[in-house]
Amino acid sequence: MEEEKSVFLEFFGDAPMFRIIDFLLEHRLQDFTKTEIAGGAGISWASLFNHWEALEKYRMVKVTRVVGRAKLYQLNEGEPIVKRLKAVVMQLIRQAADEEEEKAVAVAKARK
C-alpha cells in the first residue's frame, strides 16, 4: 500500500530536500540524529549528506542536544524561513480542507 503524500510534498514535489523538510515539519517537537532523519524522510544517507549543508547554511535545523558522539537535530522554528514554510503548509492544509468540504456539500446536494 502506497503512503499518501503530505500536502507539502504534493505542492513542492518529492525531491530529497523537500522530503527532509517535510519529515522535520511533521515531527517538529522531536529531535533526531542525521541517520534517523534520512530514514524518516525515506532517503539515503548520501542524499541527506548532499542537502545537509544547505539546511545548516540557512539555519533551518539546529542541534538540540548531544548524546555521546551523536548530535540530535530538529527544525529551527525561530528562523524566518521556517516560519514562512509553516505558514505555507497551514495555508495548503486550509485549502485542502475547504476543497474536501466543498466536495462533501456537492455530494450531499446530489443525493437530495
> Using one digit for the tens of pLDDT, what is the confidence trace for 45-67?
999 999 999 999 999 999 999 99
Residue 14 φ then ψ, to 5°? -100, 25
**Among 37-41, 46-50, 76-80, 102-106, which stretch is predicted with the lowest mean pLDDT?**
102-106
Nearest residue to 28 via CA among 61, 70, 51, 4: 61
Can you list the domains of the chain with their CATH numbers? Answer: 8-111 (1.10.10.10)
Taking the C-alpha atoms of residue 74 and residue 28, their distance in angstroms, rounded to an integer, is 6
Q: Give percent of the chain above pLDDT 90.
A: 77
Contact assessment for residue 63 and residue 55, using Cβ atoms and an 8 Å cutoff: no
d(CA 94, CA 71) in angstroms, rounded, equals 35
Give the per-residue pLDDT at 2: 55
